[in-house]
Structure 1
């Protein structure tokens, strides 16, 4: 086991931080900041691989499938974080994007020792959510060798689901178990082996890209505005009104009235105002346009 770890990039010692225990606060911060700047460049190198993940995910969504992130420890938590932000940001059903981690929900706040070492748990956790061939599963492991993730990917692939392996090492073990892999190599961590640092940052960036790009392709944005925002509190209601005003040029009062008439659905309110149609007509136009505000308005004008 030790020999295997020694060859992983994520386990190598960073030459720039060898004397970090002798440094003052600002010197430590500068090293960390300079190392973090390398992350975006590493992600840039794997954009073609990320695009494959986006295409898999978009196809799953169009076919009524789901995006499922699965991992252990920090990797699992990153998947959960990205998944739970999708409903408020894009008004998605909570089942549409899911984050699963070894040890279950309890493990999010307290490590469940040994859970990540059992490949059978990865398989059983996917069985528990009724995984189908229409779903896309993204297995996340900075080291690229977590048994829990390997078990999950093997099972997902065996039933025909699309699979992506996301790691921070070349020729990762999990890459061999997936339809496609994203191996984003960020180099040795400032603290040796502490993959909650650069590796986790790279993975968060990539997960953000996958979910956001897929949702945009699903028509959940107009220009760069979150038109499918879920109005569940005062702040989000004000955001929705602001979005309606920016797109339509309507006054605050008009936007508020339209939003409330549209049952707090910003997209419906926008189409109502822009196309000068009733709520029912706006709903029908959006359905015809597969949820795209731009296309719905275009259909109305034509």
Structure 2
């Protein structure tokens, strides 16, 4: 099997003459191979996450770079971090070649403009605290390659994700993630297997990063932005699980905390709103550390004696 995204797989010749069920099975098999290919890059992702942690703990930003389908996937991963994990809007940058309005698609010509990629990275003022993730299925987009090179020149952590080995995008990158998905069922259509693999790799990287940064307690997304009825209910159920309170008490605490699940958990276990904020600050925003703090245990004991 070829390891490039542009190969023409002989086993798919005559695809346009196949029946619907056969086309679907071939496409499914391509997706299955793409996901399986992600297993081999877990060590590379581990190293990238560990390197990113101290930079982001010091206030750095996540900066995503891409062109074409890769740009759309990068944008999707980045934009989901705020609602799901409370990642601050001002610490996320999206540098997407030729995309200003997704409803009209993207200008493919910008993908060839390497100088524009470098210029857009420079305009962010990125530095050694920032983490720059560049995604390109074939690893050759001039926009993406030069954007990553500029980020590296400025001292940022650079992560290159591509679906082919020896990609130009990997040159000078601090971390390289080569997820080898092979020939596409529809030759060169990297929205298929390569797109699936890129989405999976981005999810793996960013979700693990958020877990390590304290955006979860157990496997609960306690940093979620509660901005609708569904999420308010989800937040209450998390509080029931974390503190053992009833649902009515959880909803009341959530309202007192302004929708902040972590603050609400601390309110339910003996803190005032101000004390909860200070406890979380001492714990670096990590709910588990705040709950396990000796001072917090003393507050719980005091609250129990008052009742």
TM-score when normalising by structure 1: 0.93
Q: Tell me if the contact between 1:73 and 1:107 (Cα under 8 Å) persists in the aligned partners.
A: no
Q: Tell me if the contact between 2:263 and 2:276 (Cα under 8 Å) persists in the aligned partners.
A: yes
1:162-241 aligned within 5 A: 162-241=157-236
The correspondence for 2:8, drawn from 13, 16, 23, is: 13
| Partner in structure 1 of residue 150 of structure 2 | 155
Deviation for aligned residue 1:267: 0.5
The correspondence for 1:301, drawn from 287, 297, 300, is: 297
| Partner in structure 2 of residue 3 of structure 1 | none
| Partner in structure 1 of residue 277 of structure 2 | 283
Deviation for aligned residue 1:203: 0.6
TM-score when normalising by structure 2: 0.92
**Could you tell me how far apart the structure 1 residues matched to 2:292 and 2:99 are?**
45
| Partner in structure 2 of residue 112 of structure 1 | 107
Deviation for aligned residue 1:57: 2.5
**Could you tell me how far apart the structure 2 residues matched to 1:66 and 1:291 are?**
17
**Residue 129 in 1 paired to residue 137 in 2?**
no
**Could you tell me how far apart the structure 2 residues matched to 1:214 and 1:296 are?**
20
Give the secondary-structure state (helix, strand or coil) at the position aligned to 2:39.
helix
Cα deviation 1:107-158 (Å, max 9, x = unaligned):
6742213101011111111122221221111111101111001110111111
Deviation for aligned residue 1:177: 3.0
Greater Cα offset, 52-61 or 164-173: 52-61
Unpaired stretches in structure 1, ≥5 consecutive residues: 1-6
1:57-96 aligned within 5 A: 57-96=52-91
Unpaired stretches in structure 2, ≥5 consecutive residues: 299-307
**Could you tell me how far apart the structure 1 residues matched to 2:52 and 2:99 are?**
23
Deviation for aligned residue 1:19: 2.3
Deviation for aligned residue 1:276: 2.2
Deviation for aligned residue 1:98: 2.7
Deviation for aligned residue 1:56: 2.9
Q: Tell me if the contact between 1:144 and 1:174 (Cα under 8 Å) persists in the aligned partners.
A: yes
> Cα distance 1:97–1:108, how it changes in 2: closer, same or farther (>3 A)?
farther
Q: Tell me if the contact between 2:100 and 2:106 (Cα under 8 Å) persists in the aligned partners.
A: no
How many matched pairs?
Answer: 295
**Could you tell me how far apart the structure 2 residues matched to 1:294 and 1:59 are?**
19
Greater Cα offset, 98-107 or 256-265: 98-107
Q: Tell me if the contact between 1:8 and 1:143 (Cα under 8 Å) persists in the aligned partners.
A: no
| Partner in structure 2 of residue 292 of structure 1 | 286
Deviation for aligned residue 1:165: 1.0
CA RMSD of the aligned region, Å?
A: 1.5
Deviation for aligned residue 1:8: 6.6
Deviation for aligned residue 1:96: 2.1
**Could you tell me how far apart the structure 2 residues matched to 1:57 and 1:255 are?**
34
